[in-house]
Amino acid sequence: MGDYTELMQQLMRRKAALQNERQSYLAHWQDLSDFILPRRGRNLQGAEDPYKGGKKNQRIIDSTGTIAARTCASGLMSGITSPARPWFRLSLPDARLADYVPVKIWLDEVRKRMLRVMAKSNFYNSFATLYEELSVFGTAVNLILDDDEDIIRCYPLTVGEYFLANDHRLAVDTLYREFTMTVAGMVGQFGLENCSDRIQQKYRDGQLDQEYRVCHAIEPNDKRVIGYVDNKNMPYRSVYWEAGQSCEKPLNVSGFRGRPFQAARWHVTGNDVYGRSPGMDALPFIRQLQFEQKQKAQGIAKQVNPPMTANVQMKNQEMSVLPGGITFTPANGQGAGFGPAYMVNVELGELRQDIADIRQQVNQAFFADLFLMISQLDDVRSATEIIERKQEKLLMLGPVLERLHDELLDPAIDRVFNILLEHDLLPEPPKELRGQDLDIEYISTLAQAQKAAETGSIERISSFVGGLAGAKPDVLDKIDFDAAVDEYGDALGVSPKIILGSDQVAEARATRAQAQQQQQAMAMGQQMIAGAKTLSDTKLGENGNALERVLGRLGGAAAAGGQGA
């Protein structure tokens, strides 16, 4: 494979630096994992968990936080990248070119092929996992690679197994990760000859399921030679190596033409690499909820089964606390008898109300009430109703949606498009698209909800002008109704096959106008024929009929005109 000593030393130094920078987040992520998603997160305590199948939720008494996080993730999934409906479309910066019919049809066909590839692969399953990671830990990372069976394959990473770094634009451009692979998996992916001596020996001994740690680095290739095309001379380099082994022999060195991973953050402060999340905001309430639920359970237990006191003479004597049971006690001496040490009277109503208030705050932190409301309004016009009913919450989600579009969805769509392009799975584009850049427009439920104000304004101005037209029809000339239909269709994400392009509309109107002119000419001809017949039927005695008289006069007038000339 060549000498990679210098490269491997560089990668291992940077991995150590990124690991040191990430260290301060681990304790917070561990608390989020313990109280909300116990089975998420890797190496948060500094070592691999040897008991992957053990109980993980011992610190959860009330699961409101877990359910709220699940609702938030499901709401993002159905509202942004629903597999049941188109959620994006392709367009062009040039509006006139984008309105050209062959271009519109090609863009729509490309989108459909991309959606089919996403549906066939594990794209949507991975994104469901990403949204949970995002809502709880504030950062979600996904890796999209080529796949021989499904064209693409997604690998959602969990918090703690990756390290990130920003570029000068504060966009994540570097991903290091550390994960486990079996001996069989390493040999299958990298080849037996590229594995270390210990892996080769384990493979020969048949210990195929033993796991070892593998490191993977994806970052801009600072050693790239411009103009030289090679798998190892790409804009992004990709290097695998065995953790803890000699840095002279990587498992694999390759590259990517574009960034193959997506790193989304819910909210970022300054130049931070890792994001903040609703889970971080809800964590104090979730902790308080566990405490109060425990206190409530203890109060109920003490009311049902209070601590008891007994005469010392009753030691080692038979006693019963069962309903109807009898305990015989000595009747002499102070403190004789058997009874509760103290009476517990917990105000459970007030405690339950406080628990309900805390649960509401947890749900609000995760936007659970908003997403549950949206799920009940799934018709085409629901976006307007959502805006009217929950406009303030949608405004709070606006920055999050814009960040997700920029950091998660745009790179994912670009990655899928480029993979299809490299595998020659896209239709031949029209010649007009040569050298043109493509735009991405989002038409999901939440994206439409953000645009609902636009559709509402179009509806209001149309109704207003329509009302005025009854008194003054000329006011209709003030509105470009063709443009209104185009803008309304764009806001609702209507298929380009439904709304005709400007050229098609102009052609259809010209054809209709020509047909109307022909009909008018035919009608006038029929009227003239009917008039001539009437004149011919009108007798003027011995001088013939009225038609002959008219034709004679017309002929005389023509002759007189000729003589005058």
Digit-coded pLDDT (tens) for 101-138: 889 899 999 999 999 999 999 999 999 999 999 999 99
Task: Give how far the C-alpha of residue 492 lies from the chain's centroid of Cα atoms, to the nearest Å.
Answer: 17
Beta bridge partners of 216: 177, 240
User: What pLDDT was estimated at residue 98?
Assistant: 84
Cα–Cα distance, 402 to 395 (Å, whole number):
11
Task: Give how far the C-alpha of residue 254 lies from the chain's centroid of Cα atoms, to the nearest Å.
Answer: 30
The residue whose two tokens read 């992004």 is 236
CA R_g for the chain: 38
Identity of residue 520: Q
| Number of C-beta neighbours around residue 375 at 10 A | 14
Beta bridge partners of 309: 339
Nearest to 359 by CA among 1, 7, 65, 52: 65
Note the pTM of the prediction, 2 decimals.
Answer: 0.77
Cα–Cα distance, 198 to 209 (Å, whole number):
14
| Number of C-beta neighbours around residue 85 at 10 A | 13
Tokens representing 527 are 């009227």
Residue 219 φ/ψ, nearest 5 degrees: -160, 165
Q: Are strands 252-256 and 151-157 parallel, antiparallel or unpaired?
A: unpaired
Beta bridge partners of 339: 309
User: What pLDDT was estimated at residue 565?
Assistant: 47
Residue 518 φ/ψ, nearest 5 degrees: -65, -40
User: What pLDDT was estimated at residue 381?
Assistant: 47
Task: Give the burial class of 221: count Cβ atoms within 10 A of its Cβ; 0-12 exposed, 13-18 middle, 19 or more buried.
Answer: middle
User: What pLDDT was estimated at residue 3?
Assistant: 75
User: What pLDDT was estimated at residue 139?
Assistant: 97
User: What pLDDT was estimated at residue 317?
Assistant: 74
Contact predicate 44/160, CB 8 Å: yes
Is 237 in a helix, a strand, or coil? strand
The residue whose two tokens read 């998420």 is 40
Cα Dmax for the chain: 159
Inter-residue long-range contacts of 384-387, CB under 8 Å, 24+ positions, other chains counted: 384/452, 384/455, 384/456, 386/449, 386/452, 387/449, 387/452, 387/453, 387/456
Contact predicate 420/117, CB 8 Å: yes
Residue 237 φ/ψ, nearest 5 degrees: -100, 155
Helix (H) or strand (E) holding 147: strand 139-147
Low-confidence ranges of the chain (pLDDT < 70): 1-2, 46-54, 227, 229, 245-248, 323-326, 328, 330-336, 338, 341-344, 346, 373-395, 450-456, 487, 489-497, 501, 531-533, 535-565
Contact predicate 198/184, CB 8 Å: no
